Amino acid sequence: MTYSFPIRPRRLRVSESIRSIVQENRLHPSDFVLPIFISDDDRVVEISSMPGVYRWPIDQLSNHIASCANMGIRAFALFPKISSDLKTTSGHEILNPKSLVYRAARSLKSLDSDIVLIADLALDPYTSHGQDGLLLENGYVGNDETVEVLAKASLICADAGFDWVAPSDMMDGRVAIIRKTLDQNSYLTTGIISYSAKFASSYYGPFRAAIDSSPEGQNVDKSTYQLNPANLEEAKRELRLDFEEGADMLMVKPAEPFLDIINYAKTNFDIPIAAYQVSGEYSRIMAADQLGWLDWEMCAHESLLSIKRAGATVIFSYFADKIASLL
């Protein structure tokens, strides 16, 4: 029996060609920022909890980035793993202009000025306790004290050649202070990608292992400054505050567990929205692939499409180079 249905949505799905011409969202290599781990090691080292992701020494970094740029990826975020003997309670190595991440930026910019370099502006790679800020005597992470250090570090980032600074600390008021500091020192074109809605997530473990920011494998509690995953209204407030303080781009992190926050940000703010598909999101897909339960290429593509569909203008992803080669 054939019914006379006037509306048949399946007509738009009859063939691959039809599905292609009505597809609403597509991924492009220019959508991505590739996070890259760097170290002072003399060799490339794979991160055990992130198959296919490596720590790169500076002298091999340029070839890797050139390869990614040839695929169409133009933006790269650098995350340093520094020697443990350089880590202190105050994280003072972040203010050393000769520190690893600044040396890497200068080297890369001297070779290719067209790439976009993004500096992670946080203290956790540099502190012996693994927190993103300075500890007060009572053990609380000091807000204004941390902001002061980050503002100073933003100048070193700009001087080293970073195009954007990305404060990922979630301290109150830091976007306004960093913007003022950059402007007063004539870094008017250095942008701020603010980790505006960064949640106290369980998905960060592989990242912390990659930069060795958890002392002796301890679970570092960051819930006094990162957002409660249960709270939508609190995330809205943080996004609004960073927008009003002068952020050039707002970020939501992690991405896929918080698609509703990404969509809210896209709908309510007229600046680009970034989303960070974090290490745990990457590792769960790769682990399931290794067990034969999922296909990582199909799942990664679907996950990234969902993030873009939710409203992300820019996606930070460890899959960026792998997916870009398939697009």
Integer angstrom CA distances of residue 281 from 159, 203, 284: 33, 7, 6
pLDDT(268) > 80? yes
> Does some domain include residue 30?
yes
Kindly report the average pLDDT of the chain as a whole number. 95
Q: Which of 23, 58, 218 is nearest to 128 (CA)?
A: 218
SS3 83: coil
- d(CA 134, CA 149) in angstroms, rounded, equals 9
> Does some domain include residue 112?
yes
pLDDT(265) > 80? yes
> Does some domain include residue 10?
no
- Out of 122-136, 206-220, 256-270, which region has the weakest mean confidence (pLDDT)? 206-220
Contact present, 156 and 162 (Cβ < 8 Å): no
> Does some domain include residue 21?
no
DSSP 110: H
SS3 117: strand
- d(CA 308, CA 312) in angstroms, rounded, equals 5
- d(CA 6, CA 10) in angstroms, rounded, equals 12
Model confidence over 148-172: pLDDT tens digits?
999 999 999 999 999 999 999 999 9
The parent domain of residue 146 ranges over 26-216+225-324
- Out of 10-19, 109-118, 179-188, which region has the weakest mean confidence (pLDDT)? 109-118
Model confidence over 84-136: pLDDT tens digits?
999 999 999 999 999 999 999 999 998 878 899 999 999 999 999 999 999 99
Q: What is the pTM of this model?
A: 0.95
Model confidence over 229-244: pLDDT tens digits?
999 999 999 999 999 9
SS3 287: helix
Confidence of residue 2 (pLDDT cuts 50, 70, 90): confident
> Does some domain include residue 15?
no
Give the catalytic positions in this structure.
198, 253
Total domains present in the chain: 1
Contact present, 269 and 243 (Cβ < 8 Å): yes
> Does some domain include residue 8?
no
Q: Indicate which CATH number applies to the domain containing 274.
A: 3.20.20.70
> Does some domain include residue 83?
yes
Phi/psi of residue 277, nearest 5 degrees: -80, 105
* 251 strand-pairing partners: 195, 274
Contact present, 210 and 37 (Cβ < 8 Å): yes
DSSP 144-200: HHHHHHHHHHHHHHHHHT-SEEEE-S--TTHHHHHHHHHHHTT-TT-EEEEEEEEB-
DSSP 138: T
pLDDT of residue 113: 80
